[in-house]
């Protein structure tokens, strides 16, 4: 048996996603965001998190899913990867679960419109829940963004 | 034991000690007779040796050890400081510094110091002054023993003298331990322990340290301050087992004075013995530096409540080291508090409760004070940069065969840590220039009717939001015509351009890249990387350099620097619903223009401003502001900003006001954004972006 990990579960649309808990710093309610001009459209701007200025990404926009209105449930998950602190805007975040590494399978090519390289795997929890594990360093990979923008532009 | 966790502490402290060694050596060089300075130097060297030995840096330890031997002779009046001794000691300090640097860089701190060590040993061996008569003091003589008398230095002598004046009993005690005693160190320790219970041991021979290591024959002697009678003491010690003989002789003013005179003329025997002992004290020495004779004497002095304090000089400053990151965290948390305060103030005014308003107002005052303190925590005195200069100037003057006095004023002036870290190199360059090019050789100075020693004044002072650092020398001065001629020769200026320059502009030419006025290039300055680098660095820090010079009288380089890099004064502006900050330092003026004043030249919007045409930049368009566009308005507010000589007008919607803002970076994730240099957090907790006006001027 491989080790158990704790995973934060959040939602984008109907899909459930997971981020390992040790990469998450805090989960915040929506707060005022200062727009930053002349940058990627999915970067919503910067927030003031207890005195530190942190850029915020709309995860829907990052994965090319249509962006949604912010609701009471909308949360900002602050993650720290490779010494970068970034906030993810997600539809809701309300669960922490224990997951065994063995239960994570390699992902199919595309899940819910997200390319496989952004994913670490897919975990089956309970009878009919699928949890999509995010590969954070790929999600935040900047060189890849430049290519992406180049293609779109 | 894992030493890594102590390494950074070791490096910090070693640097401190090296710095104090350097400073005190300079002081001693100016004042070679002052033995109290030698004491301080000795203590620093000793602590350094102890630390190095504990950390396992053998080369460092052994070199310091040799230095210590030399210093020990000096402080015991057995060696007179001379020029070559200073040079050797300074050389040793340099070697130590490079070793510590090596350690800082992750190295082992190894270096070949055998040459310097040999020099130091030669000094120890060869320079012991000849015998000064075998007469011994009355007290030791009275003891009837042929034991070596103890030499009291000036400081210990005065401690004894004061004690007698205050009615304490001072005595000279000799203790002989039985020859068959196995653990004489332990026995002697018991004697010391016993004695210190009812008094203070001022000085002992051999030193306490040697006694602890059993490096003595079978007897030792000491000076002791107590309230008890000599016979009482004698009886007390004799009560210990394995003690052969104890003599305690009470001293009065007279006998002490006699002793003092004798001390001045050290006996040959003692000198030889002491140097032997000095060599014999091999490493490794106990890391506890407090067990060394000198600090011990100092500690005893306090214990005896003798008012002789203060003579040792160099009281350690009461500071702690704090990681600069922790200060940043503190600052962040504090700004969070400020935001809550603003919110509380709002709530209080809404609720209109007297008590609440009062409390909130008090909290505001306290937090304002707190803010000041937090800001000040990041400030460091410029002394931390200045302190290495005296040594540098000394070496430089020596190598150039000039006589130079460096006069430092305002070393206590405080600046932000970030500026301090950057300003060192430019200042070094300017100082080297001053000594090399500014100050004339001794012969030239005499010919010009000036005192043969040149003076370099290094001044730091606050003025408004800036710190000024001035480097002024009384050397030959700069002749503007020569500068211009040289500039023309090097192709930096044309003849016509040169003719139209004022003196002021001519001096600024010195900062032009590829300029060096020195006719002969020395190894000190004039190596191609010149004043242009200095200028660039200072400009990058948001500062400025100006030169004032009087030919024949001297030159003054005045460096103007911002107090801090993390807090700036800024003009807050509004563009639609968004707020931005523009650094005040680049704003020339603000104004309102009518739509009709804007002209279009080659498709670019231009504006007539004080007799010339300057471009008008639409911030709303560049930043794609969603809810504002100045072209729909009759009148537009503008901010005129400057980069060097060029001006640009930025169109804004509204001025909010001037504010002190704390600069924050935008985080690593965001790419460089043209026109934005950072962000700041406003009083209401919102983030505002800081505009970088330089980006709009090409």
Residues B22 and B69 placed together within one structural domain of the fold: yes
CB-based contact (8 Å) between A48 and chain B?
yes
Which residue does chain B place closest to A39, by CA atoms?
Answer: B673
CB contact under 8 A, A36 and B670: yes
Contact list in A for residue B679 (CB cut-off 8 A) is 34, 46, 53
Domain enclosing residue B409, as ranges:
383-562
Instruction: Evaluate whether A92 touches A74 at the Cβ level (below 8 Å).
Output: yes
> Mean of the per-residue pLDDT values for chain A?
83
**Is the Cβ of A96 closer than 8 Å to some Cβ of chain B?**
no
Kindly state the DSSP code that residue A67 receives in the 8-state scheme. Answer: P
Are A53 and B667 within 8 A, CB to CB?
Answer: yes
Residue from B76, B77, B433, B556 carrying the catalytic annotation: B433
The Cα of B379 is separated from the nearest Cα of chain A by a number of Å equal to: 20
Radius of gyration of chain A (CA): 15
* Of the residues B539, B562, B585, the one at which a domain ends: B562
Does B433 qualify as catalytic in the annotation? yes
Same domain assignment for residues B90 and B158:
no
Distances in Å between the Cα of B300 and the Cα atoms of B190, B309, B495 are 18, 11, 75
Look at B336 and A37 and tell me if their CB atoms are within 8 Å.
no
Secondary element (H or E) of residue B624: none
> How many angstroms from the chain centroid is the CA of residue B254?
45
Same domain for B271 and B192: yes
- Cβ of B669 and A50 within 8 Å? no
Contact B687 A47 (CB under 8 A): yes
- Residue in B10, B52, B4 with CA at minimum distance from that of residue B321: B10
Q: Which residues of B touch A (CB under 8 A)?
A: 331-336, 339, 578, 622-625, 664-671, 673-676, 679, 681, 685-689
Which residue, of B378, B395, B420, is where some domain finishes? B378
Report d(CA B267, CA B272) in Å as an integer. 9
Does residue A55 lie within any of the structural domains?
yes
Q: Is B403 helix (H, G, I), strand (E, B) or coil?
A: coil
pLDDT at residue A144 in the model: 59
pLDDT tens string B572-584 = 999 989 999 998 8
Q: Do B578 and A34 touch (CB under 8 A)?
A: yes
CATH of the domain at B472: 3.30.565.10
Number of domains, chain B = 5
- B182 falls within a domain: yes
Euclidean distance between CA atoms B35 and B17, whole angstroms? 19
pLDDT of residue B283: 38
Residue A129 lies in a domain: yes
A90 at interface of B, judged by CB pairs closer than 8 A: no
- Residue A31 in domain: yes
Handedness of CA B81, B84, B85, B86 (dihedral sign): positive
Distance CA A110, CA A107 (A): 8
Last residue of a domain, one of B513, B532, B562: B562
Question: What is the per-residue pLDDT for B129?
Answer: 38
If asked whether residues B548 and B522 sit together in one domain, one would say: yes
Q: Which residues of chain B make contact with A86, given a CB cutoff of 8 A?
A: 667, 669
Considering the domain architecture, whether residues B362 and B436 belong to the same structural domain is answered as: no
**Cβ atoms B669, B561 nearer than 8 A:** no
Q: Let me know if residue B173 belongs to a domain.
A: yes
Predicted-complex ipTM score: 0.86
Of the candidates B640, B658, B665, the residue with the CA atom closest to the CA atom of residue B465: B658
Residue A53 contacts B where some CB pair is shorter than 8 Å: yes
Helices first, then strands: H and E counts in chain A: 3, 13
Whether A29 and chain B come into contact, CB under 8 Å, resolves to no
B41 part of a folded domain: yes
Residue A31: closest CA among chain B residues belongs to which residue?
Answer: B686
Other beta carbons within 10 angstroms of residue B323's beta carbon come to 9
**Residue B141 within any structural domain of the chain:** no
* Contact residues, chain A, for B575 at CB < 8 Å: none
Residues B479, B600, single domain; the answer is no
Closest CA to B456 of B410, B412, B408: B408
Q: For residues B509 and B529, state if they share a domain.
A: yes
Size of interface A-B (CB pairs under 8 A): 84
Cα(B408)–Cα(B471) distance, integer angstroms: 10
Q: Please enumerate in sequence order all residues whose Cβ is within 8 A of that of B134, keeping only pairs 6 or more positions apart, or say none.
A: B267, B268, B269
Q: Do B578 and A51 touch (CB under 8 A)?
A: no
> What is the pTM (predicted TM-score) of this model?
0.51
Looking at the domain assignment, is residue A149 inside a domain? no
**Interface residue A51 vs chain B (CB under 8 A):** yes
Of B669, B674, B686, the CB nearest to A38: B674
Contact A53 B623 (CB under 8 A): no
Q: In this structure, what CATH number is given to the domain that contains residue A93?
A: 2.40.50.180
Measured between beta carbons, the chain B residues lying within 8 angstroms of A48 are 339, 681, 685-687
Are the Cβ atoms of B676 and A37 closer than 8 angstroms?
yes
Other CB atoms within 10 A of residue B135 CB: 12
Domain residue limits at A81: 2-142
B494 in Cβ contact with B488 (< 8 Å) = yes
Alpha-carbon distance B664 to nearest alpha carbon in chain A (angstroms)? 7
Closest CA to B675 of B690, B654, B665, B687: B690
Residues from chain B contacting residue A36 (CB–CB below 8 Å): 666, 670, 673, 676, 689
Number of domains in chain A: 1
B596 shares a domain with B537: no
Nearest beta carbon to residue B332 from set A35, A45, A51: A51
Which run of H or of E encompasses B115?
Answer: helix B114-126
**Secondary structure of residue B1 in the 3-state scheme:** coil
Which residue of chain A is at minimal alpha-carbon distance from B332? A51
The predicted pLDDT at position B64 comes to: 84
Residues B261 and B180 in one domain: yes
Q: Domain for residue A69, yes or no?
A: yes
How far apart, in whole angstroms, are the C-alpha atoms of residue B581 and residue B512? 32
What pLDDT does residue A153 have?
36
Per-residue model confidence (pLDDT) at position B400: 85
Q: What is the pLDDT of residues A13-47, one digit of tens each?
A: 888 899 999 999 999 999 999 999 988 888 999 99
Which whole number is the average pLDDT over A64-85?
88
In a domain, B82, yes or no: yes
Q: Kindly determine whether residue B689 and residue A36, on different chains, have CB atoms separated by under 8 Å.
A: yes
Residue A1's pLDDT band (boundaries 50, 70, 90)?
Answer: low
Chain B residues in contact with A37 (beta carbon < 8 A): 622-625, 673, 675-676, 689
Task: Compare CB distances from A43 to B333, B670, B688 and report the shortest one's residue.
Answer: B670
User: What residues contact residue B280 under an 8 Å CB cut-off, 6+ apart?
Assistant: B210, B215
Chain A residues with beta carbon closer than 8 angstroms to that of B671:
39, 142
A78 pLDDT higher than 90: yes
Q: Say what the pLDDT of residue A101 is.
A: 84
Going through B410-473 in order, the beta strands assigned E by DSSP cover: 414-416, 454-463, 466-473
Run of H or E including B259: helix B253-264
Report CB contact under 8 Å: B679, A52: no
Is the domain of B431 the same as that of B372? Answer: no
Instruction: Say what angle helices B4-30 and B35-55 make with each other, to 10 degrees.
Output: 160
Query: Of the candidates B622, B669, B681, which has its C-beta nearest A84's C-beta?
Result: B669
State whether B296 and B336 are in the same domain: no
Alpha-carbon gap: B113 to the closest alpha carbon of chain A (Å): 43
Q: What is the CATH number of the domain that holds B179?
A: 3.30.70.1110
Residue B148 lies in a domain: no
> CA of A109 to nearest chain B CA: how many angstroms apart?
27
Contacts of A81 in chain B (CB under 8 A): none
Which residue from B336, B667, B676 is facing A51, i.e. has the nearest CB?
A: B336
Calculate the dihedral angle through the C-alpha atoms of B358, B360, B361, B365, rounding to the nearest 10 degrees: 140
- Out of B664, B667, B681, the one facing A85 most closely (by C-beta) is B667
Q: What dihedral angle (degrees, nearest 10) is formed by the CA atoms of B317, B323, B329, B334?
A: 0
B226 and B185 part of one domain = yes
Is A55 within 8 Å of chain B by CB? Answer: yes
CB atoms inside a 10 Å sphere around CB B107: 13
Closest partner residue to B681 (CB to CB) among A45, A48, A85 is: A48
Is residue B30 a part of any domain in this protein? yes
* Partner residues linked to B557 by β-bridges: B471, B547
Count, residues in chain A = 153
Kindly state whether residue B314 falls inside one of the protein's structural domains: no
Is B68 assigned a catalytic role? yes
- Where residue B587 sits, what CATH number does that domain have? 2.40.50.180
A9 part of a folded domain: yes
Of A39, A51, A86, nearest to B681 by CB-CB distance is A51
Set B17, B46, B168, B437: catalytic member = B46
Q: Which residues of chain B have a pLDDT value below 70?
A: 1-5, 126-155, 256-318, 464-465, 514-529, 564-566, 644, 698
* Residue (of B465, B78, B477, B11) closest to B266 by Cα position: B78
Residues 6 or more apart in contact with residue B1 via CB below 8 angstroms = none
Integer angstrom CA distances of residue B345 from B170, B373, B598, B684 = 68, 22, 44, 11
pLDDT at B142: 36
Examine residue A48 and state whether it is found in any structural domain, yes or no.
yes
């Amino acid at each position: 048996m491989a080790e158990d990990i704790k995973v934060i579960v959040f939602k984008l649309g109907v899909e459930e996603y997971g981020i390992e808990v040790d990469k998450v710093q805090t989960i915040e309610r929506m707060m005022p965001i200062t727009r930053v001009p002349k940058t990627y459209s999915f970067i919503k701007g910067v927030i003031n998190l207890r005195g530190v200025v942190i850029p915020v990404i709309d995860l829907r926009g990052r994965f090319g899913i249509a962006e949604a209105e912010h609701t009471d449930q909308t949360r900002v998950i602050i993650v720290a990867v490779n010494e970068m602190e970034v906030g993810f805007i997600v539809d809701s975040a309300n669960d922490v679960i224990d997951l065994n590494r063995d239960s994570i399978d390699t992902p199919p090519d595309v899940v819910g419109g997200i390319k496989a390289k952004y994913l670490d795997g897919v975990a089956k929890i309970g009878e009919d829940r699928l949890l999509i594990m995010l590969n954070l360093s790929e999600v935040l990979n900047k060189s890849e963004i430049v290519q992406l923008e180049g293609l779109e532009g | 034991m894992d030493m890594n966790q102590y390494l950074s502490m070791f490096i910090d402290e070693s640097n401190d000690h090296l710095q104090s060694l350097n400073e005190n050596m300079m002081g001693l060089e100016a004042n070679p007779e002052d033995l109290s300075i030698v004491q301080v130097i000795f203590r620093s060297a000793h602590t350094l040796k102890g630390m190095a030995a504990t950390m396992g840096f053998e080369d460092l330890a052994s070199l310091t050890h040799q230095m210590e031997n030399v210093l020990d002779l000096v402080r015991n009046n057995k060696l007179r400081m001379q020029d070559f001794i200073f040079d050797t000691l300074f050389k040793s300090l340099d070697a130590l510094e490079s070793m510590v640097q090596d350690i800082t860089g992750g190295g082992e701190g190894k270096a070949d110091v055998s040459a310097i060590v040999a020099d130091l040993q030669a000094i120890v061996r060869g320079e012991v002054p000849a015998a000064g008569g075998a007469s011994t003091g009355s007290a030791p003589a009275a003891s009837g023993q042929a034991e070596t008398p103890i030499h009291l230095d000036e400081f210990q002598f005065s401690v004894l003298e004061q004690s007698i004046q205050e009615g304490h009993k001072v005595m000279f005690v000799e203790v002989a331990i039985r020859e068959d005693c196995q653990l004489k160190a332990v026995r002697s320790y018991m004697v010391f322990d016993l004695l210190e219970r009812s008094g203070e041991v001022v000085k002992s021979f051999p030193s306490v340290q040697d006694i602890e290591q059993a490096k003595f024959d079978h007897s030792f002697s000491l000076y002791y301050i107590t309230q008890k009678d000599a016979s009482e003491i004698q009886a007390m010690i004799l009560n210990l087992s394995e003690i052969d003989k104890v003599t305690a002789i009470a001293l009065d003013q007279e006998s002490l004075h006699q002793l003092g005179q004798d001390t001045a003329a050290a006996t040959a025997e003692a000198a030889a013995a002491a140097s032997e002992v000095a060599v014999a004290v091999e490493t490794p020495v106990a890391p506890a530096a407090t067990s060394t004779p000198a600090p011990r004497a100092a500690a005893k002095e306090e214990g005896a409540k003798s008012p002789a304090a203060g003579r040792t000089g160099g009281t350690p400053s009461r500071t702690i080291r704090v990681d600069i990151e922790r200060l940043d965290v503190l600052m962040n948390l504090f700004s969070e508090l400020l935001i809550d305060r603003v919110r509380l103030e709002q709530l209080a005014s809404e609720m209109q409760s007297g008590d609440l308003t009062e409390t909130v107002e008090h909290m505001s005052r306290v937090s304002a004070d707190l803010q000041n303190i937090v800001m000040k925590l990041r400030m460091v005195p410029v002394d931390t940069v200045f302190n290495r200069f005296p040594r540098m100037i000394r070496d430089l003057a020596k190598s150039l065969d000039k006589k130079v006095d460096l006069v430092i004023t305002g070393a206590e002036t405080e600046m932000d840590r970030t500026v301090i870290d950057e300003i060192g190199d430019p200042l070094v360059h300017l100082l080297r220039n001053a000594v090399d090019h500014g100050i004339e050789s001794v012969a030239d100075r005499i010919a010009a009717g000036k005192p043969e020693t040149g003076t370099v004044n290094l001044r730091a002072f606050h003025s408004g939001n800036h710190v000024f650092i001035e480097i002024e020398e009384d050397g030959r001065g700069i002749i503007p015509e020569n500068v211009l001629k040289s500039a023309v020769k090097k192709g930096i200026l044309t003849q016509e351009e040169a003719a139209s320059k004022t003196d002021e502009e001519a001096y600024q030419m010195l900062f032009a890249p590829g300029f060096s006025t020195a006719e002969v290039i020395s190894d000190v300055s004039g190596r191609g990387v010149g004043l242009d680098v200095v200028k660039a660095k200072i400009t990058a820090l948001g500062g400025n350099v100006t030169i004032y010079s009087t030919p024949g009288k001297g030159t003054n380089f005045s460096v103007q620097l911002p107090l801090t890099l993390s807090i700036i004064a800024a003009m807050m502006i509004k563009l639609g619903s968004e707020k931005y900050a523009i650094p005040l330092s680049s704003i020339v003026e603000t104004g309102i223009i009518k739509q009709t004043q804007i002209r279009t030249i080659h498709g670019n919007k231009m504006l007539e401003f004080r007799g010339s045409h300057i471009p008008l930049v639409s911030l709303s368009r560049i930043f794609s502001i969603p809810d504002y566009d100045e072209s729909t308005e009759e009148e537009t507010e503008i901010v005129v900003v400057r980069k060097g000589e060029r001006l640009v007008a930025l169109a804004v919607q509204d001025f909010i006001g001037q504010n002190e803002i704390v600069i924050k970076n935008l985080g690593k994730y965001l790419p460089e954004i043209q026109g934005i240099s950072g962000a700041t957090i406003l009083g209401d907790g919102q983030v505002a972006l800081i505009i970088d006006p330089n980006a709009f001027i090409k």
